[in-house]
Each structure stands twice: as structure tokens, then as C-alpha cells.
Amino acid sequence: MAGYRFLTSWLLEAPRDEVWDAIWDAPAWPLWWRGATVAEELDPGTPCGVGRRGSYEWRGRIPYRLRFEAVVTEVEPPHFMLGEARGDLEGTGRWRFYEDDGVTAVIYDWQVRTTRPWMNLAAPVAAPLFRWNHDEVMRAGGRGLAEHLGCRLLASD
């Protein structure tokens, strides 16, 4: 399996609680995040959110779809969330949220392996294209989140 580590950061002119709420409300992602085609909650987990499980489908600029389920393994609202993914991608995703004077920094660390045979065969040549596609989806997420919250996206990387 081909492995990848993606690190995304967004800087939004919005309170952390509002940013957290929008990210936590994963079923609403397709309404504002271009690329998120399916985001369904399958299990709400415990009252604090541990064990929350969702089904996701993503499509970037390159016309292939990735499907996986993710379960929240640790959560500390509105600061931190860790999840495990299984499906076309397997690995961990870690969201961190920091606020200073009404500006929220979002850091997303996504460490995954591809499980689809064609992606693993193509990885030696196509990995830069897969990375670009992921980065485009994440840039769209930052722009969409800012629009959804009615705030400015100050930086996206």
C-alpha cells in the first residue's frame, strides 16, 4: 500500500467554537465543501463523541472517488479530534483548533495508505498528482468553510 502524509492549515477570522461546530457537523460538509459528495453519520458514539462513526465519499479535480468510514477515537471539543479511517483510505486524521483574538487556526494532519489496487500500482508515478488532488480538495474546504461561516479565510496551506 502507498502511504501519504498530508498537513493542511486554515486561518479563519471566526471564533474557534463556530469553526469547531462546522467541522464536527460532518453530515453538512457536502453543503459547503466542494469535493465532499457523501458524509453520513452511521453511529453517534458516546455522549462525548468517542465512537462516532461516519461514511464519506470524496471526489477531487481528478475524476475518481474515495470511499471510507471514519470513527472518532479521541475528542476534546473545541480543541482536538482524532479519528481512524477504513476503506479506500486507511489511517488516522487529527484535527486541532487554536484561537487567538477571534482568529482560529485549524490544523489537519492526515496520515493514510491507499487500499485500491490501481492507486497502489500507479503510486510510483501518480503520487504527486494524488497529492495535488488532495490539496485542491482541502483548499476548497477552507474557502467553503469561510463562506459557510461568513468570515474571511486569512490563509490556507
Percent over 90 (pLDDT), the chain: 98
User: Are 35 and 93 within 8 A, CB to CB?
Assistant: no
Chain-centroid distance of CA 69 in Å reads 12
Q: What percent of the chain has pLDDT over 70?
A: 100
Residue 16 identity (one-letter amino acid): R
Sequence-distant (6+) residues with CB within 8 A of 78 are 16, 17, 19, 20, 21, 97
Read off the DSSP letter of residue 154. E
Gap between the Cα atoms of 89 and 102, Å rounded: 34
Q: Rounded to 5 degrees, what are φ and ψ at 49?
A: 105, -10
Instruction: Check pLDDT > 90 for residue 1.
Output: no
Q: Is residue 80 within 8 Å of 87, Cβ to Cβ?
A: no
- Average pLDDT (133-142) is 97
Model confidence at 103, pLDDT cuts 50, 70, 90, reads: very high
Q: Indicate the Cα dihedral angle 29, 134, 59, 112, nearest 10°.
A: -90
In the prediction, which pLDDT does 50 show?
A: 98
Q: Give the model's confidence band at 111: pLDDT under 50 very low, under 70 low, under 90 confident, else very high.
A: very high
Would you place residue 100 in the very low, low, confident or very high pLDDT band (cuts 50, 70, 90)? very high
| Cα–Cα distance measured from residue 95 to residue 30, given in angstroms and rounded to the nearest whole number | 18
| Average confidence score pLDDT of the chain | 97
Specify the pTM: 0.95
For 30-57, what is the mean pLDDT? 98
Is the pLDDT score of 42 beyond 90?
yes
